[in-house]
């Protein structure tokens, strides 16, 4: 059994203290151990970042971008290797892992544009012989805490942009599936990143608290559950840190009577059951406008949910792999049981699935509920598993009210051929990311990702233009060079033009 290590100051190092098991979800077997960083190890990473910062911040943006160009090339060359590690430790299919990596690489591509995005703003002659400009300067040492469900993509939302902006970054990935994250960081070192600019430290709440409490860490990025997002936001902001903390979701898809139902069903299958539902952008509620739409949707979904190809994630041609842990599988099964007890109609039951040759794996088939109502826990809470709930309403307005009343506002979509309905939905829905006939409206890298309400704590979304603003601070400079022959009297009033 191998031991996964920290990456600090360009070297692999280990803790002599606590460790955690890393499982292969397809077999249920422990395959690695990962150290849980002590406060001393966290401080070691902080010290290396602090020492590397002065030289890195003064490295020209074009040279920082050159590192990112080489990094992108190495990621593409190592796609199969990275995807294999993701699948082995997370459980998602190889195709899904490769797709995750590609979306992460898009953010590296955006970081390659550093000379453009960091140009600043300049105004000449704002007053007599006076010029003014804004400069975007790095914060210093910043940190990111990332979830298990996207061990490649979500870290790539954070540190490429933070680093190309001139910061030094400390990454605390999920301890459940850390191998791909560590490999990707090593590839960035291979691309020419100086030692100390990026460190990877594994750990649990103790490591998170150490990063929150360290005065040298100026900003924290987080993606995970809402309770932890709220905790990190509260604890870090009261210490004067910048925070962007992305939390949970309950994403609704609205199906109008005029929707292209066959295309909507295909989209819902991937959005609800892809990656075993372990996505913050997964569609977990289908809101059908009218019983006729709901009946037709159920009739088309049932055979497809029952026919899902499920097996070890590292096998080819599958729709779903296992959930990440036995605890995750049991939690989702508990939600299914509770939905039945609350009176929802369980149309397809995914519990009790056994995969031949992988009987100890953490598998669960797709489940489908009909006639779910807003007071049920399976509607209100994020299940984070392969469960789709169908809710029936009588109008688009009722569907929108349902979504706007929910505490989460991460993503949503509408399936319709009606431009007026789509425009109303986009204008009035209180959700951060909206799709029209697009089930997973994840913004491309040159936009920004983030929800509303209790899906985001902080003022700025992740990556894209908001990411640049988050990882830099504006300095406004006003400069005057009087002509030698002139002499002006002192001014005691507030200066103006």
Contact 219, 242 (CB under 8 A): yes
Alpha carbon separation from 342 to 374, 376, 405 (Å, rounded): 11, 7, 21
Which position has the token pair 């010290």?
47
Mean pLDDT lowest among 93-107, 340-354, 417-431, 473-487:
473-487
**Main-chain dihedrals φ then ψ at residue 475, nearest 5 degrees:** -120, 120
Would you say residue 113 has pLDDT above 90? yes
Say which DSSP state 337 is in: H
Alpha carbon separation from 404 to 14, 38, 268, 397, 452 (Å, rounded): 47, 42, 21, 10, 10
Single out the catalytic residue among 276, 280, 389, 413: 280
Of the CA atoms within 13 Å of residue 159, those in its CB half-sphere come to 31
**Mean pLDDT, rounded, of the chain:** 95
Q: Is 280 a catalytic residue?
A: yes
Digit-coded pLDDT (tens) for 181-228: 999 999 999 999 999 999 999 999 999 999 999 999 999 999 999 999
Would you say residue 491 has pLDDT above 90? no
Tell me how far apart the alpha carbons of residues 321 and 309 are, in angstroms, rounded to a whole number.
9
User: What is the structure's pLDDT at 16?
Assistant: 74
- Burial of 31 from C-beta contacts in 10 A (0-12 / 13-18 / 19+): middle
Tell me how far apart the alpha carbons of residues 176 and 178 are, in angstroms, rounded to a whole number.
6
**What is the DSSP secondary-structure string of 86-145?**
HHHHH---HHHHHHHHHHHHHHHHHHTTHHHHT--EEEEEEETTEEEEEEEEE-SEEEEE
**pLDDT band, residue 486 (cuts 50/70/90):** low
Contact 207, 231 (CB under 8 A): no
C-alpha torsion 22→28→30→36, nearest 10: 30
Tell me how far apart the alpha carbons of residues 284 and 377 are, in angstroms, rounded to a whole number.
13
Query: If you average pLDDT over residues 292-319, what whole number do you get?
Result: 96
User: What is the structure's pLDDT at 496?
Assistant: 65
Digit-coded pLDDT (tens) for 226-255: 999 999 999 999 999 999 999 999 999 999
Alpha carbon separation from 297 to 172, 180, 461 (Å, rounded): 42, 38, 34
Would you say residue 487 has pLDDT above 90? no
Of the CA atoms within 13 Å of residue 372, those in its CB half-sphere come to 30
Q: Return the CATH number of the domain spanning residue range 251-436.
A: 3.40.309.10
User: What is the structure's pLDDT at 128?
Assistant: 87
User: What is the structure's pLDDT at 251?
Assistant: 97
Residues 6+ apart with CB under 8 A from 24: 31, 88, 89
**Main-chain dihedrals φ then ψ at residue 476, nearest 5 degrees:** -95, 125
Q: Are strands 387-393 and 121-127 parallel, antiparallel or unpaired?
A: unpaired
Which H or E run includes 412?
strand 411-415
Query: If you average pLDDT over residues 27-40, what whole number do you get?
Result: 96
Would you say residue 15 has pLDDT above 90? no
For 52, the 3-state DSSP assignment is helix
Tell me how far apart the alpha carbons of residues 231 and 103 are, in angstroms, rounded to a whole number.
28
Tell me how far apart the alpha carbons of residues 165 and 153 are, in angstroms, rounded to a whole number.
19
Contact 114, 165 (CB under 8 A): yes
pTM of the model: 0.94
Structure tokens at 386: 């392969």
Q: pLDDT over 70 for what percent of the chain?
A: 98
**pLDDT band, residue 1 (cuts 50/70/90):** confident
Q: Report CA 438 to chain centroid distance, whole Å.
A: 18
User: What is the structure's pLDDT at 494?
Assistant: 67
Would you say residue 270 has pLDDT above 90? yes
**pLDDT band, residue 353 (cuts 50/70/90):** very high
Would you say residue 266 has pLDDT above 90? yes
Would you say residue 10 has pLDDT above 70? yes
**Main-chain dihedrals φ then ψ at residue 231, nearest 5 degrees:** -65, -50
Straight-line distance from the first to the last Cα atom of the chain, in angstroms, rounded to the nearest whole number:
71
Would you say residue 77 has pLDDT above 90? yes
User: What is the structure's pLDDT at 373?
Assistant: 98
Residues 6+ apart with CB under 8 A from 395: 289
Query: If you average pLDDT over residues 311-318, what whole number do you get?
Result: 90
Q: Report CA 89 to chain centroid distance, whole Å.
A: 18
Digit-coded pLDDT (tens) for 369-422: 999 999 999 999 999 999 999 999 999 999 999 999 999 999 999 999 999 999
Alpha carbon separation from 414 to 42, 293, 418, 422 (Å, rounded): 45, 13, 10, 7
Would you say residue 170 has pLDDT above 90? yes
Higher pLDDT, 316 or 113: 113
**Main-chain dihedrals φ then ψ at residue 402, nearest 5 degrees:** -60, -45
Would you say residue 59 has pLDDT above 80? yes
Tell me how far apart the alpha carbons of residues 403 and 374 are, in angstroms, rounded to a whole number.
10
**pLDDT band, residue 94 (cuts 50/70/90):** very high
CATH 3.40.605.10 fits 2-247+455-477, yes or no: yes
Query: If you average pLDDT over residues 441-467, what whole number do you get?
Result: 95
Query: If you average pLDDT over residues 268-287, what whole number do you get?
Result: 96
Show me where the domains of the chain are located.
Answer: 2-247+455-477, 251-436
User: What is the structure's pLDDT at 483?
Assistant: 76
Among residues 435, 383, 427, 387, which one has the least CA distance to residue 410? 435
Digit-coded pLDDT (tens) for 419-453: 999 999 999 999 999 999 999 999 999 999 999 99
User: What is the structure's pLDDT at 17?
Assistant: 85
């Amino acid at each position: 059994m191998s031991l996964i290590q920290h990456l600090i100051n360009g070297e692999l190092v280990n803790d002599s203290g606590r460790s955690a098991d890393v499982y292969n979800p397809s077999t249920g077997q422990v395959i690695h151990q990962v150290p849980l960083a002590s406060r001393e190890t966290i401080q070691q990473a902080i010290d290396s970042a602090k020492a590397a910062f002065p030289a890195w911040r003064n490295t020209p943006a074009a040279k920082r971008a050159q590192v990112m160009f080489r990094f992108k090339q190495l990621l593409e060359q190592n796609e199969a290797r990275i995807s294999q590690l993701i699948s082995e430790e997370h459980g998602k299919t190889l195709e899904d892992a490769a797709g995750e990596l590609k979306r992460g690489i898009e953010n590296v591509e955006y970081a390659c544009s550093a000379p453009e995005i960091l140009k600043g703003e300049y105004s000449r002659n704002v007053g007599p012989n006076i010029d003014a400009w804004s400069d975007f300067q790095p914060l210093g040492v910043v940190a990111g805490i990332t979830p298990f469900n996207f061990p490649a993509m979500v870290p790539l939302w954070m540190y490429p942009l933070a680093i190309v902006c001139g910061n030094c970054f400390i990454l605390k990935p999920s301890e459940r599936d850390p191998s791909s994250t560590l490999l990707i960081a090593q590839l960035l070192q291979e691309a020419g990143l100086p030692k100390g600019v990026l460190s990877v430290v594994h750990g649990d709440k103790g490591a998170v608290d150490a990063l929150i409490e360290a005065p040298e860490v100026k900003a924290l990025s987080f993606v995970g559950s809402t309770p932890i997002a709220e905790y990190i936001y509260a604890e870090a902001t009261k210490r004067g840190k910048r925070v962007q903390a992305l939390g949970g979701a309950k994403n609704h898809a609205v199906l109008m009577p005029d929707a292209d139902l066959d295309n909507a069903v295909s989209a819902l299958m991937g959005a609800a059951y892809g990656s075993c539902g372990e996505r913050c952008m997964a569609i977990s509620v289908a809101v059908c406008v009218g019983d006729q739409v709901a009946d037709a949707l159920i009739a088309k979904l049932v055979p497809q949910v029952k026919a899902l190809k499920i097996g070890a994630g590292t096998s080819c041609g599958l729709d779903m792999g296992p959930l990440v842990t036995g605890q995750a599988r049991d939690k989702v099964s508990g939600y299914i049981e509770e939905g039945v007890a609350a009176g929802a109609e369980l149309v397809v039951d995914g519990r009790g699935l056994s995969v031949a040759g992988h009987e100890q794996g953490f598998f669960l088939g797709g489940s489908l509920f009909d006639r779910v109502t807003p007071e049920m826990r399976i509607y209100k809470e994020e299940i984070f598993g392969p469960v789709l709930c169908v809710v029936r309403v009588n109008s688009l307005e009722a569907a929108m009210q349902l979504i706007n009343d929910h505490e989460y506002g991460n993503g949503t979509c509408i399936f319709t051929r009606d431009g007026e309905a789509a425009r109303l939905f986009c204008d009035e829905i209180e959700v951060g990311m909206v799709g029209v006939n697009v089930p997973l409206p994840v913004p491309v890298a040159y936009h920004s990702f983030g929800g509303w309400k209790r899906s985001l704590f902080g003022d700025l979304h992740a990556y894209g233009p908001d990411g640049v603003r988050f990882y830099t601070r504006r300095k406004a400079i006003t400069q005057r060079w009087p002509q030698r022959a002139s002499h002006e009297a002192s001014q005691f009033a507030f200066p103006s033009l």
